Every structure is written in C-alpha cells, then in structure tokens.
Amino acid sequence: MPHVAADVLVSPLGARRVAVGDPSPVRHHRFVSDSKDKEPEVLFVGDSLVQLLHQFEIWRELFSPLHALNFGMGGDCTQHVLWRLQNGELDHINPKIIVLWVGTNNHGDTAEQVAEGIGAIVKLIHSKQPTARVLILGLLPRGKSPNALRVKNARVNQLVQEALPSLPGASFLDVDPGFVHSDGTISHHDMYDYLHLTRAGYATVCQPIHTRLLAMLEQHKI
C-alpha cells in the first residue's frame, strides 16, 4: 500500500461508513464486483455529481461510447473515495483515464485539507494504475447566493492547480461554465437544489469533459 498521510487513511468518516452498515458498503462491493466483468477505458469516480450523471441521457450519449464506468457515490468526501480505491475498486480494471470529481462534501475540512485529500487520491491512483491519466474536475460553486462554501471550493480549485506539478499523470479541468450570475445567484434551472445539476446543467458541464476525454484518449494512442 502506498504511503499516504495517516489522518487521511484512518479518517473517522471513512471508518464510520463501513461500521454502521449503511447502503454505501453494498454499493462499494457492487463496484468491485462490476469491475471484474468490465474493461473500461474511462472511469468516473466521485460523489453524487458523478453518480447522478449516470441517470441522464447525456451519459449514454457522450460517455458510454467511450466505454466509461461510473463509480460515483452520493455523500462521498475525499476520504471515502480514497478508502474505496484502496479497497478493491481499482484492482480488476485498467482504465486509460480516471475522472475524479470529489471534495464539495468535505464540509468540516479546510480548503487546504480538501486539496490534500484530492492529491492523496491521485497519488494512490498512480501507485495502483501507473499508466492511467487522471482528470481532476474543478469543484462547482454552490448555494443560491454567495456563501463561504463557494469561496472554499474556489480556493480548493486554485490549490489543486498549484499542486499539479507534484501530482503524477494528473491534469485539471474547470467545468464551471459561469453558473453564478452577475447578481451572485445560481439558477435552479442549472442546479435544482443549488448543488446538484439539472439536465441542462449536466449538458453544459459534460461537453467540455467529453472534448477533453477525446483528446486524452487520442493522445494515449500516440
């Protein structure tokens, strides 16, 4: 197992997920089982923004043709994703690209801690899948009106981009098309609860992801 900061490995949040018997372990084991029968070229990993994407037609239009697999889990923080990847979800597949979208649920952590958690995940991926490229998606703004979580998410994005030289095989993509209007608000037409994306919101976000993935897959052939 690669060396990762101890506070990330033994996070009480991660431990509680397995201990209390909520549905998440069942979903994790399903991911591990599914991975034994699949040969994805692209793997999406993250929280509910990844999980819910699978329910929209745009997943089938843009990402299914890329042989993509979706390991999104609602409520996940960085430590949950780290635990899942340490415990089997990467053991039976060899994707060319892993798309990572997580961090907005880390309410109790500072921007620095969230960025460090994302970095720990990238380094773990590299240790298990050294030939895979990692595409880190930027955290989106959230909340109907300006708030501290928006500020923190923007800071996380900045810190992750600054850390890229130390993150092997990783690149960053800002997927915010401008959800915050000139008056500082976010429309429920883009985020129905000012966090999760609507069909229109996903359509806007997914196009640049698809474009980047096509370019990365083409580069992988060279």
Domain residue extents for the chain: 25-216
Chain centre to alpha carbon of residue 98: 9
Residue 72, strand partner residues? 46
Q: Which of these is catalytic: 91, 188, 193, 220?
A: 193
Reduce the DSSP state of residue 94 to 3 states and report it. coil
User: Checking DSSP bridges between strand 170-173 and strand 133-137, what pairing results, if any?
Assistant: parallel
| Fold classified for 25-216 | Rossmann fold (3.40.50)
Which of 131, 72, 79 lies closest to 101, judged by CA? Answer: 72
Q: For this structure, is 48 an active site residue?
A: yes
Q: Which residue has the tokens 């900061």?
A: 5
Confidence (pLDDT) at 222: 55
Q: For this structure, is 196 an active site residue?
A: yes
Confidence (pLDDT) at 11: 35
Which of 186, 112, 114, 178 lies closest to 146, judged by CA? Answer: 186
Q: For this structure, is 34 an active site residue?
A: no
Q: Which of these is catalytic: 48, 80, 126, 190?
A: 48
86 phi and psi angles, rounded to 5 deg? -70, -25
Confidence (pLDDT) at 19: 32
Q: Which of these is catalytic: 54, 67, 92, 196?
A: 196
Q: What is the pLDDT along the chain (222 residues), one digit of tens a residue?
A: 333 333 333 333 333 333 323 346 777 878 877 777 778 999 999 999 999 999 999 999 999 999 999 999 999 999 999 999 999 999 989 999 999 999 999 999 999 999 999 999 999 999 999 999 999 999 999 999 999 999 999 999 999 999 999 999 999 999 999 999 999 999 999 999 999 999 999 999 999 999 999 999 998 775
